[in-house]
Chain A
Amino acid sequence: MAEHFLSLYTDYIVRTEKKYPGLKNMSDWEVIFTATLQAVKVKRGKKILNQLKMDLNQRTLRMKFESMGCTVDRIDRFLDDIEKFGVLTKPVVFASLRFERWLDLNPQATLKARASILQELYQDYDLDSLMEEYPETRVRFFMMTCFKEDNPNLLNEFQSIILSMRDGLLSPWNLQERITQIQTNIILSEEEKFYLARMLFPHVDAADYVELVTTTHGEDNRLNLVFQTEGMDGQIYQIRPPFLPKEIGQFHSLLSESSLSGTFTAQHDFLLLFNSRNRMVGGLYWKNLENNRIHLEWVAIREKYRNISLSNRLMDDFYKRMKHRGVDIITVGFYVEKFFFRQGFEINKQYGGLVKRLK
């Protein structure tokens, strides 16, 4: 095995570098180790690297490796890094390098512009596709780009999140609880809050104004996303889940005002719309049926606030949130068909009422 690694280094890297001097200094053993881990998968890769360390007990091989800059210590350090921070995969490295290059050329870039390029790079390098094998991918990408400056407390929290994900104790799709703890325990700058919201909710667009708010539900804290939007009347509105039980009561009254009857159960969730004075002007609620399917019960907008596209804004945000939750199918009763047809709902023989598939 030792010879195999040595051969990769000398034959492939060193000789090619000699031939093309401009390429020097960008190759290193860590790249070989990481590429190995990516090829053979992490568990097996670690075994191989440990075997390689054993092989280096042989003096001749050890000398050969040391002359090439590879020592047992170096392998140990690499393995230690993997334990602490997960695998630094190639797409994450290149997406981060590209972000750095862009930032070098555009040091005055606004937060919005930075978030926009981060989102683009995340998609272009298809980082989501790595999440199954490397659940730490999204956190690692954000650590290497927007969170790399300071705040050691925050980095420690990320490290702990990565450890939990690698141990299979935490799903990369369900970081809400851990981020809530971070919000509660660490003092964060506005910039950090801005990026944290985008790390947690990938559907949030760079230009969207959002805020992460921690609310109390019984003894638990829960993190909620407040999305800000503009109606056709030029006014700012906020879309968010209810923070207080009385807001659910208010929504019930709003439904009654609209001549709709609603019976709320523990299976129901709500998304509400507020004006700039924090007055509820509309909302919707749905029943959770299966992991990937929900039933939208009613959508209502207070009469005074109709015809300014608020229902469209509310529905757009609703779709994004549901997609983020892993919902594929939304069903709705057969009413206000014109509105729901415009929203992409259709008749389907498998479902009663109307159905929309989130792609």
Chain B
Amino acid sequence: MVENFGGYWPEYQLYTEEYIHGETLTAYLDRNRDDILDDSKVDRWQMRWLHFIWNGIQAYQDFWNRTEFKLSIQPPSPSNLVIPQHDYSTGTRLISISGRKPTESMAEHFLSLYTDYIVRTENKYPGLKN
């Protein structure tokens, strides 16, 4: 169960929480950290990673498209995605869209969120700082 979901919807004065069956991409990659570094499994992980990139990017772009290119989820992060492990399976899901932001003022707005994202991710994974 994915349990790191929580969204605040100021326009509706609403806070929602949901538990989704599945494992976030971050959790999955964390669980397989040693395996990913195993030289004998490079091919397997290259193919999986291509699958994760493709599905993840498509999910974020799909959201962007649904908002008529007005909003995008920032930052696009693997921790916000549940992607089936096998490339022939379907069912990629975005866990939260609470991070949606207008794309009109993209450059500066995104860059500031980018910073927020880095700080937040580094706090979550302290090893990243090095």
Contact = CB atoms under 8 A, between A and B. Distances in A.
Contacts of B53: 12-13, 26-27, 31, 35
Nearest to A21: B37
Nearest to B78: A16
A66 interface: no
Interface residues of B, number: 44
Nearest to A18: B128
B29 A36 contact: no
Interface of A is mostly: helix
A209 B72 CA distance: 53
Contacts of B58: 35-36, 38-39, 90
A168 interface: no
A13 B62 CA distance: 17
A234 interface: no
A74 B77 CA distance: 25
Size class of the contact patch on chain A: 35 or more
A25 interface: yes
Contact of A7 (B41, B51, B62, B110): B110
A124 B74 CA distance: 34
A277 interface: no
A88 B14 CA distance: 42
Interface string A4-19: 1001101111011111
A7 B49 contact: no
B118 to A, nearest CB: 8
A31 B74 contact: no
Contact of A22 (B37, B51, B56, B125): B37
Interface of B: 29, 33, 36-38, 41-43, 45-47, 49-51, 53-58, 60-62, 64-65, 69, 72, 74-78, 87-88, 103, 106-107, 110-111, 114, 117, 121, 125, 128
14 contacts: A2-B107, A7-B74, A11-B114, A12-B76, A16-B29, A22-B38, A23-B46, A26-B50, A27-B49, A40-B62, A40-B64, A44-B65, A90-B58, A94-B88
Interface of A: 1-4, 7-8, 10-13, 15-23, 25-27, 31-32, 34-36, 38-40, 44, 48, 61, 90-91, 93-94, 97, 101, 124-125
